[in-house]
Amino acid sequence: MTELVNDRGSGISLAGVTKRYGDHVVLDGIDLEVPAGERVSLIGPSGSGKTTVLRCIARLEAIQSGSITVEGTEVARRTEKRTGPPAADVAAAMRGVGMVFQQFNLFPNMSVMDNLTIAPTRVLGLGAEEARARAEGLLELVGLAAKARAYPSQLSGGQQQRVAIARALAMRPSVLLFDEVTSALDPELVGEVLEVIRGLAAASDVTMLIVTHEMQFARDVSDRVIYMEGGSVVEQGPPDAVLADPADERTQRFLRRLLDH
Amino acid sequence: MNLDYLASVDGVLLDGLRLTVVATLLGAAIALVLGLLIACVQLARVPVLFQAITVLVIVIRNTPLLGQLFFMFYVLPRYGIRLDALTVGVLALGVHFSCYAAQALRGGFLAVPRGQWEACSVLGLSRTTTLWKVVLPQALPPVVPTLTNLLISMFKDSAVLSAITVLELLGTTRNLASTSFQYTTLFTAMGLMYLAIALPASLAVRRLEHRLSRRTARA
Ligand SMILES: Nc1ncnc2c1ncn2[C@@H]1O[C@H](COP(=O)(O)OP(=O)(O)O)[C@@H](O)[C@H]1O
Ligand SMILES: [Mg+2]
């Protein structure tokens, strides 16, 4: 019943979301729809608010106006309506949201295995055996089956980020947020991480919102590309249209500058 | 040094040392738990409690330990709180050092990157799990040397308990001296006993610090 009420599997929606730090407007009443199963890449210059969009969806930041809906449940709001959904419903909806960070944020005091099992056992109530089996399967998927007992500090950056992806997947999310997950990596390690995400996109129907500067990757993996600037959506459409033949002058300028480098 | 005399009172001195160690360990347990609570209140800025603790910390850090000890020993009974001298002494040590432990612990907490809290939040981990399984295990090890140094300080400063009739090592020594007048022998022996415990502990801290700095260098 809950599933019907919450209409799970309906993706992410931002309606008129404003985020300010003091007087500094970072998101300027942004509207964004990511239907279930869609892969959307978010591109734009540094400081345009891409990370903030993800952080607001993940409830790491409070918003100043508008509302955010995840899988049919309004998880963040600043509107005139009096009551929002109960906290338990919000928590349940947020359990479907996974995030992978630029800096990995693995727990350095735990083995890879413990990094992958702590949330499933403590949040989802999985038994130790089941959580372990799930983790082993995911490590296989990201090509790190041999590293279950290693500690994060013993892994390369690329390996750590693959573990972080596996950790997010261990919660069986229906929505995954990727925030420049290869930006902190040495160039030769970027490929292995993108490969894992490509594989994931091909093998599952998880909704993905991907912030990236890797244009070829965005083109391969996305159904849609959104170009942001100054806290607003400037242009969006199929990757071939936005990346190869952008309509807006600002998008053209951004892509041209990216090519020059 | 009068070794014959020493041999006749070494049991009494060792009893004093034992009491010093017990008072230190009990005081340290209080200081750790209270210090953790103070650090949490300060970091979370819990209203009212935060202000109250700020005042307490200011008072504790800017008045002598001996004065705090006398205050608790002579003032508490006037308000109907009657505790034996050792209990008062242990409480005074614990409260006094908790303020210093809190500062060290707060530093440890603040050194844990925000991303660790954020990863926990996105995974849906509860605040308790986040604190005990992720944050504390990262916040504590770097401050172990500082906490151990505080423990050594407390071990030495526990000598003030002799001022409220607790017969720990210093009090016992002074008692013996007041009747036998064997000052050189007694106070030399006392000094060696403090050294025998504090020195190895200090050396252990130095080795620990060395290992920690190597570990951070590798990471
Ligand atoms: N905690 C913060 N306090 C103040 N300003 C912030 C904070 N976080 C981000 N900003 C500002 O918000 C803007 C958007 O940042 P961000 O979302 O990280 O951009 P992007 O990810 O597109 O590079 C930037 O101008 C940044 O300086
Ligand atoms: Mg960013």
Q: List chain A residues with CB under 8 Å of B214.
A: none
Q: Which residues from A are below 8 Å from B219, CB to CB?
A: 108, 153
- Kindly identify which residue of chain A lies nearest to residue B132, measuring between CA atoms: A109
Residue B211: band (very low, low, confident or very high) from pLDDT cuts 50, 70, 90: confident
pLDDT in tens, B68-120: 999 999 999 999 998 999 999 999 999 999 999 999 999 999 999 999 999 99
Task: For residue A91, give the chain B residue with the closest CA.
Answer: B124
Does pLDDT of A124 surpass 70? yes
Q: How confident is the model at residue B1 (pLDDT cuts 50, 70, 90)?
A: confident
Q: CB of A83 within 8 Å of any CB in chain B?
A: no
Please tell me if residue A118 touches chain B, with a CB cutoff of 8 Å: yes
Query: b/e for A145-171, b at 16 or more Cβ within 10 A?
Result: eebbebbbeebebbbbbbbbbbbbbbb
A231 CB neighbour count, 10 Å cutoff:
23
pLDDT for residue A1: 30
Q: Helices (DSSP H) in chain B: which residue ranges?
A: 3-44, 49-61, 65-75, 85-110, 114-123, 127-129, 136-157, 169-180, 183-218
- State how far residue B122 is from chain A, nearest Cα, in angstroms: 6
Q: Which CATH number fits domain B3-218: 1.10.3720.10, 3.40.1800.10, 3.90.105.10, 3.40.50.300?
A: 1.10.3720.10
Which amino acid type is present at position A6? N
A window 5-34, beta carbon within 8 A of B: none
pLDDT of the residue at A86: 83
A59-68, B103-112, B202-211: segment of lowest average pLDDT: B202-211
Rounded to a whole number of angstroms, the distance from the CA of B105 to the nearest CA of chain A is 18
Q: Which of A30, A51, A234, A254 to mutate to test the pocket of ligand 1 (most atoms within 8 A of CB)?
A: A51
Query: Choosing among B123, B130, B133, B140, which should be mutated to test the A contact, i.e. which has the most A CBs within 10 A?
Result: B123
A183 touches chain B (CB under 8 A): no
Question: How far, in Å, from the CA of A41 to the mean position of ligand 2?
Answer: 13
pLDDT surpasses 70 at A7: no
Residue A79 has pLDDT above 80, yes or no: no
Instruction: Show residues of chain A in contact with B133, CB under 8 Å.
Output: 107, 110, 118
Ligand 1 atom nearest A231 alpha carbon: 14
Strand-pair partners of A226: A42, A236
Q: How long is chain A?
A: 261
Smallest Cβ–Cβ distance between A153 and the set B126, B138, B219 belongs to B219
Higher per-residue confidence, A131 vs A93: A131
- Per-residue pLDDT at B213: 74
Looking at A25-39, B98-112, B164-178, B201-215, which range is the least confident one? B201-215
Q: How far is B123 from chain A (nearest CA, A)?
A: 6
pLDDT of A81 reads 63
Give chain B's length.
219
Residues near ligand 1 (Cβ within 6 A): A 21, 24, 26, 44, 46-52
pLDDT value for A71:
87
Q: In what order do the strands lie in the sheet with A97-100?
A: A97-100, A175-179, A207-211, A39-43, A224-229, A232-237
3-state secondary structure at position A69: strand
- Distance between CA atoms of residues B142 and B210, nearest Å: 11
- Each residue of A179-208: pLDDT tens digit? 999 999 999 999 999 999 999 999 999 999
Which residues of chain A neighbour B218 with C-beta distances below 8 Å?
153
Cα A110 to Cα A163: distance, rounded to the nearest angstrom? 12
Average pLDDT, chain A: 92
Of the two residues A40 and B211, the one the predictor is more confident about is A40
Point out the residue among B113, B122, B125 whose CB comes nearest to the CB of A99: B122
- Amino acid (one-letter) located at A125: G
Q: State mean pLDDT over A134-160.
A: 96
Q: Is A131 on the interface with B (CB under 8 A)?
A: no
Is the Cβ pair A153, B218 closer than 8 Å?
yes
**Residue A53: nearest ligand to its CA?**
1
Question: Smallest CA–CA separation between B125 and chain A, in Å?
Answer: 6
Would you state the pLDDT for residue B86?
96
For chain B, which residues make up each domain, given as ranges? Answer: 3-218
For position B31, what pLDDT does the model report?
Answer: 97
Tell me which of A16 and B219 has the higher pLDDT: A16
Across B153-163, average pLDDT: 97
Least confident of A50-54, A73-77, B195-199: A73-77
DSSP character string of A8-30: -S--EEEEEEEEEETTEEEEEEE
Whole-number percent of chain A with pLDDT over 70: 95
Site to probe by mutation for ligand 1, drawn from A20, A23, A24 as the one with most ligand atoms within 8 Å of Cβ, is A24
Look at B125 and A123 and tell me if their CB atoms are within 8 Å.
yes
Spatial CB neighbours of B56, under 8 Å, sequence gap ≥ 6: B99
Question: Tens digit of pLDDT for each residue in B16-73?
Answer: 999 999 999 999 999 999 999 999 999 989 999 999 999 999 999 999 999 999 999 9
